[in-house]
Amino acid sequence: MAPLLTGKRFRPERYHYYPLLDSSNQQAALLAQQGADEGTVVVAEQQSQGRGRLGRPWSSPAGINLYCSLLLRPAIAARHAAQLTLVAGLALWHTAQEWGVQGCELKWPNDLLLQGRKAAGILTEMRAEGEKTQYVIVGIGVNLNGGRTDLPPELQAQAIHLAEALPAPIERSRFLAALLQQWETWYDRYQTSGFAPLATLWQQAARLPGRRVQIRLAEGSFAGEAVTLDADGCLLVKRGDGMLTRVVAGDVTLLGEG
Amino acid sequence: MDLKEIRQLIKMLAGTDVAEIEIREEAQTVRISRHLAGQHDTSTAAFQPVMTYAAPPAMAMPTAMPVAVEAVAAAAASKSSEPLSTERTLTITSPMVGTYYQANAPEAPPLVAHGDIIKKGQVVCIIEAMKLMNAIESEYAGRVVSILKENASPVEYGEPLFILEPV
């Protein structure tokens, strides 16, 4: 996969392609620890240990999908870095739009859904010493050209490939170049204006307010209506009793139209 | 008063010259006393929370609480045996709001254990917010004398996570 890279961060000399990796995030972390620059991109054709949140496996067969990790070194305090995961979702959603995939939506914090099924997931990992952000790695897995039979049986009802909504397959290197271009745009906007102006756009892409959701936290579950994002990007959910709960970390399941 | 509130209280007191505070709530009394510089010794960070109950508390207390309080008290006690020391304990705090994880993955062993000697820059835990996993590096070298959070529990910005003593 050889994308045409023209951005100011994601440059050809910072692009690393591997036929097989344990996980692209792991390789990107290794490069980061060796001093790699912001804008370093790691792409794996195939991952043997692709993973999502809480070590969950991410199905990563060769030839049909995109598994990439972006290395960022933002000059932001660690407490704001989680906003980058929402910026990541916006960049991904806009890339799908640009490609003409109709009906995509974001699910907090940054899953890309198509027809209610997961087409892409993002796992962000960072290192911080105290307040100081050392680096941020945004790992993005996008299901592009497969069909239902390319998915493990347990995912067939939950996952989907973006090209299933298109008449032709997606050229992977062009999709990656478009995604990185969107990244440049949204990351620049975030760094210039902060998260607040992006929150409105994010909410539109997630069709908030009014989505019925089930929230699973480390300490328990509850259902409610996803109302909005707060200034930090946390999800505010209104429970049945009218109480607003701020979700910082957890699993969100959409419960259908509210 | 729960463990979190006690911790917040300890943190709050750290910026003041208050040497002792006692709070009574129904059947529960919490007293936090500390030695301030120039008063009893040279230490500025020896906290000694003491909890007493006039009657059994109405609600079960979090299981981590007695352990954590005991550990803090133990740290303070070990300091008092070094009256001439100018060293102080070091606190690693959370740089963000999120969920605390003791390991890189649910089935992985904890990144640090009580009594471990850790290096500056060593990853001591993971804090998650919005599917961002933040590997927290220790700003100090030292021995872990107290692990203040339970795995998969919520943490606030600035909340103490670990107490180290210099080695």
Dihedral sign, Cα of residue A195, residue A198, residue A200, residue A205: negative
Residues A38 and A72 sit within 8 Å (Cβ to Cβ): yes
Per the model's pLDDT, the better-predicted residue between A1 and A71 turns out to be A71
Question: Within a domain: residue A27?
Answer: yes
Q: What is the pLDDT of residues A82-121, one digit of tens each?
A: 999 999 999 999 999 999 999 999 999 999 999 999 999 9
Q: What is the CATH number of the domain that holds A214?
A: 2.30.30.100
Least confidently predicted of A191-195, B2-6, B8-12, B64-68: B64-68
A45 and A126 share one domain: yes
**Shortest Cα distance, chain B CAs vs residue A32, angstroms:** 14
**Is the confidence at residue B86, as pLDDT, over 70?**
no
- Report the alpha-carbon distance of residue B114 to residue B71 in Å, rounded: 10
Q: Helix, strand, coil proportions of chain B in percent (round to 5)?
A: 15, 35, 45
CATH number where A192 lies: 3.30.930.10
Q: Which chain B residues in 137-166 lie under 8 Å from chain A, judged by CB atoms?
A: 137-139, 152-154, 157
Place of tokens 């999709």: A175
- Which of the residues A26, A126, A237, A247 would you substitute to probe the B interface, choosing the one with the greatest number of B C-beta atoms within 10 Å? A126
Q: Could you say which of A53, A81, A128 has the minimum Cβ distance to residue B136?
A: A128
Q: What is the pLDDT of residues B130-155, one digit of tens each?
A: 999 999 999 999 999 999 999 999 99
Give me the sheet containing B117-118, strands edge to edge: B90-93, B160-165, B142-147, B117-118
Q: Pinpoint the alpha helices (H) of chain B.
A: 3-14, 64-80
Residues A113 and A238 both lie in one domain: no
The most confident of the ranges A44-58, A160-174, B51-65 is A160-174
Q: Which whole-number Å values give the CA distances from A83 to A26, A198, A245, B43, B135, in the listed order?
A: 21, 10, 18, 39, 16
* Residue among A33, A80, A124 with most chain B CBs within 10 A, to mutate: A124
Phi, psi of A255 (to 5 degrees): -105, 20
Provide the mean pLDDT of chain A: 95
In chain B, which residues have their Cβ closer than 8 Å to the Cβ of A126? 132-135
**Residue A103: domain span:** 12-205
Instruction: Tell me: do A231 and A126 sit in the same domain.
Output: no
**Could you give the CA distance from residue B125 to residue B110 in angstroms, rounded to a whole number?**
8
Same domain, A241 and A147: no
Query: Is residue A5 in a domain?
Result: no
* Mean pLDDT (whole number) for A152-181: 96
**ipTM value for the complex:** 0.94
Examine residue A180 and state whether it is found in any structural domain, yes or no: yes
